[in-house]
Structure 1
């Protein structure tokens, strides 16, 4: 097996004595490759590669103990435990899948009908199907079960309606809509008004804005330092503080005049520099779910088609491109490694075709 991590080349035999013409051995190597991939995502990759070496067992893969009946939670928890995930990562999609299995009554591993009736968007369904398949593959290679029950399970294709709805929720607000939203929040939701303006004026992620503290602000140098993000455990209410999404997400942004004016008009308490700048109506950490409800109701009252709060990010980045900023500059504002994501999501802004005269 050969692969590269941050310009460093790795090469090793994950299964000494294994044979490519053996279906069992190919499954084991596939599971090892998945584990390496998951460790890289979770930031727990073992550069010594010892964690990924597998010894051939004298017992055939898939020869499960006849006295043991496995259920989906047994397999799911066992597989997740091998991934060495950070708590924040485990609390994300992995916890969502676990709750989904619990709601289905923790069926037996051979039962897959429950998943076929889960109501999810096609993209979410396919992502969770991939995760469940990986868990079942691990169970096969660990000789817990004989066959992967999801091998022939079909993925879903998004309907045209689903694609249109998903795309519309990403659309940026135009200048008129942005101004109406700002004025509406100032009048009816003053606690959130500065938070909404900050999102629209900076284009940073919602969790990053929630986590901004006064100690991250330098009004003299007009700099905003993004050092943490605050989110909510998926499906739960626990607030999670974590480092920014990527290495590039930990960044400093130069304030525009409107951002500077916004921050200077907020009461600046020098004796409490650890305080969050934006808080909920009760003075607590802003809850994403509660804010999303206020946001949704506000758009409905204004007669503006629904977009997720994340659309504030699309709005600022689109404005930056329309104003003539370069792709690397916009990528730096967004906290992206390079301009590929900008081209992928905002290419229509850059390359909007014009009919010939």
Structure 2
């Protein structure tokens, strides 16, 4: 908990005094939300991401009263997002009750949404070949980037942020240690940071990756230069433009739509089917341990065949 500044303490006092005359304290939600967020010791990135998005949702709902929960119950958020924002609102209201700004916490009665396990359908070898062919036919400038995602299993932000200095041709390996992630609250601005889990991993350059890197290489490449540049003219890859082309390619290839992140799932699934141990798959994906890999891909491990009955 962050120490309250004199200005914030004054605001709290004024609001508390204003509510003293009300038997049922039920102020506008934004007043309580903004005060609560200011008391938290948040990084700029966290405040601009999760908390800012929730605030925008409150504004879009017309700044309802704290006790009005219908606006939140009626949304179509995915269970994981819904539960995370509900947790924020419960914590906010608990703080407000402790500060005398609310009579009771109206959010305690709201139940979390049950998560449904996603059935991941990886791309088959045939589908992968058709996707690459689709890019070659319709969007040839995007082929290297699409191929790299399939060959490396990297997160999109990691592939976008890959620099030539991260590639050691003598040792035959690629260092995945940074990402170029979207700046919180900004759709098209990116900021260089560590990988999602803070991991550093080295990917061996196989023959396919070597051929790909040779195709995008240039005699004047610099160590701080991006490996994959945006064909539309800007410096870094625009993931929005890639997704638009991705959707078109899948449609033309008559492949049921799956978001680009399924490329990463496909990479892991094929690795497991080809005998790579869980520890190896976790390393290739950049996870600190095998827990998530086991939870997500456990159904692929030692999967038995049906017994012969007839």
TM-score using structure 2 length: 0.85
Retained in 2: the 8 A contact 1:88–1:240? Answer: no
Q: Does 1:104 align with 2:61?
A: yes
C-alpha spacing 1:191/1:87, structure 2 compared with 1 (3 Å): farther
- SS of 1:67's equivalent in the other structure is helix
1:152 aligns with one of 87, 106, 109: 109
1:205 alignment counterpart = 155
Distance across 2 between alignment mates of 1:340 and 1:141: 38
1:264 alignment counterpart = 214
1:245 alignment counterpart = 196
1:59 alignment counterpart = none
Q: Does 1:281 align with 2:231?
A: yes
2:277 aligns with one of 320, 326, 329: 326
Q: Does 1:301 align with 2:258?
A: no
Distance across 1 between alignment mates of 2:177 and 2:57: 33
Retained in 2: the 8 A contact 1:208–1:229? Answer: yes
2:241 aligns with one of 290, 303, 323: 290
How much does 1:326 deviate? Answer: 1.0
2:296 alignment counterpart = 345
Q: Does 1:116 align with 2:73?
A: yes
2:264 alignment counterpart = 313
The Cα offsets for residues 165-210 of structure 1, whole Å up to 9 and x where unpaired, read as x43xx32101000011111112211222111100000101111111
How much does 1:234 deviate? Answer: 5.7
- SS of 1:242's equivalent in the other structure is strand
How much does 1:271 deviate? Answer: 4.7
Retained in 1: the 8 A contact 2:216–2:228? Answer: no
How much does 1:337 deviate? Answer: 1.0
Distance across 2 between alignment mates of 1:144 and 1:157: 31
1:73 alignment counterpart = 30
Structure 1 segments of 4+ aligned residues over 6 angstroms from their partners: none
Distance across 2 between alignment mates of 1:269 and 1:140: 65
How much does 1:149 deviate? Answer: 1.5
How much does 1:83 deviate? Answer: 3.4
Higher mean C-alpha displacement, 84-93 vs 338-347:
84-93
Gaps of 5+ in 1: 1-34, 36-50, 53-63
TM-score using structure 1 length: 0.75
- SS of 1:151's equivalent in the other structure is helix
Distance across 2 between alignment mates of 1:307 and 1:190: 21
Retained in 2: the 8 A contact 1:217–1:225? Answer: yes
How many residues of Structure 1 are paired with residues of Structure 2 in the alignment? 289
Q: Does 1:356 align with 2:307?
A: yes
How much does 1:82 deviate? Answer: 3.4
How much does 1:235 deviate? Answer: 6.0
- SS of 2:175's equivalent in the other structure is strand
